[in-house]
Amino acid sequence: MWIPNRVLDALEIVRVGVGVGPGIGVDLRATELAQLSAMSGFGAGIGWQGRWHPPVLLDSRAFVAVGPLTIGATSSNPLTAWKRTFWEVRVEAHAALVLAEVAVDFAEVWDFLAGIVFVDPAHDDILGPHWL
């Protein structure tokens, strides 16, 4: 299962999404420690958020973030919100009725690279040793 697991790990690295709904704001992140964001609105959309996360967005949020500090709610419904992780680099914009997001998760880059030498830090490999 080495080859399928590496393909699946590679697919986890980049996340993208598009949506519609009223709102305004920008979310810029270079990990959770370095962020500059102000966003408010509601969105419904679709995108690739990884194999373990639903592709559908149906969420509202209102937050401001500077550095490691976030004030407000980045999501009112975590089950249908776009995925956010500590080690991601993210650009998200919401302008009037259009919403778009792209993120690269460096924890998933590490998981992919470690998987090449048969280590699975994310414990997400199919038939991996964590399932024994």
CA dihedral 24, 26, 32, 35 (to 10 degrees): -130
- Of 47, 51, 48, 59, give the one whose Cα is nearest residue 18: 47
Q: Please tell me the distance from the alpha carbon of residue 119 to that of residue 106, in angstroms, as a whole number.
A: 16
The residue written with tokens 């998933």 in the block is 108
Overall number of domains in the chain: 1
Tokens read off for 87: 């080690």
Are 2 and 31 in contact by the 8 Å Cβ rule? The answer is no
Backbone angles phi, psi at 131, to 5 degrees: -90, -5
Parent domain of 27: 2-131
Backbone angles phi, psi at 3, to 5 degrees: -65, -50
Q: What is the pLDDT of residues 4-32, one digit of tens each?
A: 999 999 999 999 999 999 999 999 999 99
pTM of the predicted structure, to 2 decimals: 0.87
Q: What is the pLDDT of residues 100-130, one digit of tens each?
A: 999 999 999 999 999 999 999 999 998 765 5
Q: Please tell me the distance from the alpha carbon of residue 111 to that of residue 92, in angstroms, as a whole number.
A: 24
